[in-house]
């Protein structure tokens, strides 16, 4: 890390969780304002707004759910780990909707139909790094309980990823299957694997012409790509501690002739110090690689990230708790060994209102 600079930030969060519930209907709302003020350059400051809405309706054998999200936050808040970029701090607006229909065919068989709509846009100033995009997905998943301890799982998901400004797109089919196993009252594991099939359509740009020669025309190309998907998780419970170990391999279509391949290993634990106090620790290591299908695209440099977080929470009153903690991110990119890191110490108060129930 060259010439590291220490900055002190004041982070304030204000949220008001709300819930309306009956015996068959539950509605939730979680609006939150997050204000970050740095002692250094004003370009790091942010006023982030998050709004999450949820609804769940239950019937004897079916449930209908819908989650809506509307966020306006900076890229340093939302995309530092997903996009592995730290030299831009511009506002990102995200709108999403995720409906889910679940049918309990019998005590052992459950069918779910899921869908997703996602639209992300960035303010001007992020050209060349961030591109507006849309994503649509849908598909079924089926679970079947062989025994009380063993549950089989399978899913098929189709999705389309588009970047309107470049008229590029990625169509994908993800097939997965596996098992959810309860080994004992305190140990449970999830083992799911599959394959991602993708077809990318993108605009190619010709190589720079020699002096005196005209530039060649742009052309549209199509490529097929694919790769393995992995979702592995073990959860172990002790008298006061719950620990989780997980490994996830995923593909994020970025269109424009490339995809982001990501491996992530995560370990976390929660220790109940007392009935009113708890400690949490977590560590995530990820390796992200941009798979480029055309020579004109930059990238192909792997990015490694190490993220660690520890926090202590204490319940002051029935609905009010205090929290203090520490976060650390270390990012290393490519053969040039570009290293970026930050450390954050935070303190906060959290208030959660009782659910509003209707009879």
Q: What is the pLDDT of residues 280-311, one digit of tens each?
A: 999 999 988 776 655 444 455 678 889 899 99
* pLDDT band, very low/low/confident/very high, at 38 (cuts 50, 70, 90): confident
Q: Please check whether residue 116 is in contact with residue 134, taking contact to mean a CB–CB distance below 8 angstroms.
A: no
pLDDT at position 256 is: 52
pLDDT at 127 over 60: no
Residues 153-179 have pLDDT tens digits of: 999 999 998 888 877 888 999 999 999
pLDDT at 3 over 50: no
pLDDT at 208 over 60: no
Percent of the chain with pLDDT over 70: 80
pLDDT at position 103 is: 97
- What mean pLDDT do residues 235-240 have? 95
* pLDDT band, very low/low/confident/very high, at 138 (cuts 50, 70, 90): very high
- What mean pLDDT do residues 193-199 have? 92
Q: Please check whether residue 268 is in contact with residue 278, taking contact to mean a CB–CB distance below 8 angstroms.
A: no
pLDDT at 43 over 90: no
pLDDT at 199 over 60: yes
pLDDT at 260 over 60: yes
- What mean pLDDT do residues 84-104 have? 85
CB neighbour burial string for 94-130, b if at least 16 within 10 angstroms, e if fewer:
eebebbeebeeeeeeebebebebebbbbbeeebeeeb
Count of Cβ atoms closer than 10 Å to residue 38 Cβ: 15
pLDDT at 193 over 60: yes
* pLDDT band, very low/low/confident/very high, at 18 (cuts 50, 70, 90): confident
**Mean confidence (pLDDT) of the chain:** 83
Range in 172-181, 232-241, 266-275, 339-348 the model is least confident about: 339-348
pLDDT at position 15 is: 77
| Three-state DSSP string of the chain | CCCCCCCCEEEEEEECCEEEECCCEEEEEEEEEEEEEECCCHHHCEEEEEEEEEEEEECCCEEEEEEEEEEEEEHHHHCCCCCCCCCCCCEEEEEEEEEEEEEEEECCEEEEEEEEEEEEEECCCCCCCCCCEEEEEEEEEEEEECCCCEEEEEEEEEEEEEECCCCEEEEEEEEEEEEEEECCCCEEEEEEEEEEEEEEEEEECCCCCCCCCCCCCCEEEEEEEEEEEEEEEEEEECCCEEEEEEEEEEEEEEECCEEEEEEEEEEEEEEECCCCEEEEEEEEEEEEEEEECCCCCCCCCCEEEEEEEEEEEEECCCCEEEEEEEEEEEEEECCCCEEEEEEEEEEEEEECCCCEECC
pLDDT at 41 over 60: yes
pLDDT at 85 over 70: no
């Amino acid at each position: 890390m060259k010439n590291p600079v220490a900055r002190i930030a004041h982070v304030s969060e204000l949220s008001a969780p709300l819930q309306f519930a009956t015996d068959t209907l539950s509605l939730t709302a979680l609006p939150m304002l997050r204000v970050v003020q740095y002692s250094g350059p004003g370009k790091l400051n942010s006023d982030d707004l998050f709004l999450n809405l949820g609804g769940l309706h239950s019937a004897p054998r079916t449930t209908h759910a819908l989650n809506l999200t509307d966020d306006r936050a900076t890229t340093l808040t939302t995309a530092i780990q997903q996009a592995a970029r730290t030299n831009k701090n511009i506002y990102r607006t995200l709108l999403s909707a995720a409906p889910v229909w679940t049918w309990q065919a019998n005590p052992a068989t459950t069918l779910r139909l899921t869908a997703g709509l996602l639209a992300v846009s960035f303010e001007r100033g992020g050209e060349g790094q961030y591109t507006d995009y849309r994503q649509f997905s849908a598909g079924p998943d089926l679970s079947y309980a062989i025994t009380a301890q063993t549950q089989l799982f399978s899913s098929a998901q189709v999705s389309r990823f588009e970047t309107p400004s470049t008229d590029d797109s990625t169509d994908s089919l993800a097939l997965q299957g596996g098992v959810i196993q309860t080994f004992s009252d305190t140990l449970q594991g999830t083992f799911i694997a599959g394959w991602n099939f993708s077809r990318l359509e993108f605009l190619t740009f010709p190589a720079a012409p020699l002096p005196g020669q005209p530039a060649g025309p742009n052309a549209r190309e199509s490529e097929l790509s694919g790769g393995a998907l992995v979702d592995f998780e073990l959860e172990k419970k002790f008298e006061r501690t719950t620990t989780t170990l997980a490994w996830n391999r995923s593909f994020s279509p970025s269109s424009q002739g490339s995809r982001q391949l990501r491996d992530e290993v995560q370990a976390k634990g929660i220790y109940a110090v007392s009935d009113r106090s708890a400690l949490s620790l977590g560590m995530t290591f990820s390796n992200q690689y941009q798979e480029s299908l055309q020579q004109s695209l930059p990238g192909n440099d792997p990015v490694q990230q190490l993220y660690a977080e520890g926090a202590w929470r204490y319940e002051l009153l029935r609905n009010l708790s205090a929290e203090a903690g520490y976060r650390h991110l270390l990012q290393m990119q490519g053969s040039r060994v570009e290293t970026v890191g930050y450390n954050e110490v935070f303190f906060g108060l959290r208030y959660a209102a009782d659910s509003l129930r209707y009879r």
